[in-house]
Amino acid sequence: MRGATTRHHAQNPHSRYIGSVTAQIIDGTAIAASIRAEVAARAAALRERGRVPGLAAILVGDDPASISYVSSKAKACEEAGIFSETFHLPAGTDHDDVLRLVAGLNADDRFHAILPQIPMPPQVNEQAIVDAILPAKDADGLHPFNLGRLLRGETDGAMPCTPHGVQQLLMRTGNDPAGKHVVVIGRSMLVGRPLSVLLSNKGPAANATVTLCHTGTKDLAYHTRQADILIVAAGRPGTVTGDMVKPGAVVIDVGTNRIDDASRKRGWRLVGDVVYSEAREVASWITPVPGGVGPMTIAMLLVNTVAAAERGM
């Protein structure tokens, strides 16, 4: 649902930290490729039964990051054997016109999942658009109905893509959160809040004790140093420095931020919310940016699409 990045001019100042270990890199690109292969097999099985999984994307306006994300989604769908179509509307499209499009897609049997690409122009009420999608066709797992089911511990419906992707990264690297102290920085409805619920639920790949931190948390480092698993989704580069990481912790960096870099031809580079060069000398496992959590979001979008088609059989 989100493809945009935030832009900053410099990393926050940070203190020096010299650790004694070098973390193993969590290769999100490779893990996402494995999941996409699994999705392709499930899609092939559906096609043999006469059903082609379908995903509709709604793009309003010409935000470059959103266009890039939707293009990547379309390519991933094609590779997985999923039918996809992008409904690209002009930036000036009225809110009611977007609602009418959603209503039409809800009734269209070709599509088992609908993805409204955020951000949308200011005249469009993004939450109202999400709410108008049938819960059964919620590609991002962010409809209030599906979030409510997640809160009740029901994980057999659409799951929020990035939180589900983080959970898969942990499980597929042997870092089961059960019994661990997980600290999540960030309370957005896109990542932090649903992730804290997902990992603290009773069930497989969960059962963690979760502390949810945010901009109002006092002495953030006190909490982060207690984390067996530290997940950072603050949207701000330099939020976590090496001396804020417990030695041997697993560090998952959800952040994707553009910072100016005159040494690059394009004038900028991508960094996460964690000072990677410091944290990797302290952690046992760490995700890079790019190539960590990012590829998992599209992979889990494909999972949601195929799962919706399977539930409709």
Active-site amino acid positions:
73, 117, 140
Output Rg (C-alpha) for the chain, integer angstroms: 19
Instruction: Look at the chain and count its residues.
Output: 313
Query: Strand order in 54-60's β-sheet?
Result: 83-89, 54-60, 113-116
C-alpha span between 139 and 158 (Å, rounded): 7
127, 103 Cβ separation under 8 angstroms: no
Nearest-angstrom CA–CA distance, 160 and 306: 14
Question: In angstroms, rounded to a whole number, what is the distance separating the alpha carbons of residues 54 and 254?
Answer: 28
d(CA 137, CA 116): 11
| Of 60, 41, 51, the residue nearest 83 (C-alpha) | 51
Angle between the N-to-C axes of helices 64-80 and 28-48, in degrees from 0 to 180, rounded to the nearest 10:
50
The residue type of 188 is: S
The pair phi, psi for residue 85, each rounded to 5°, is: -145, 135
Residue with tokens 């589900």, as numbered in its chain: 164
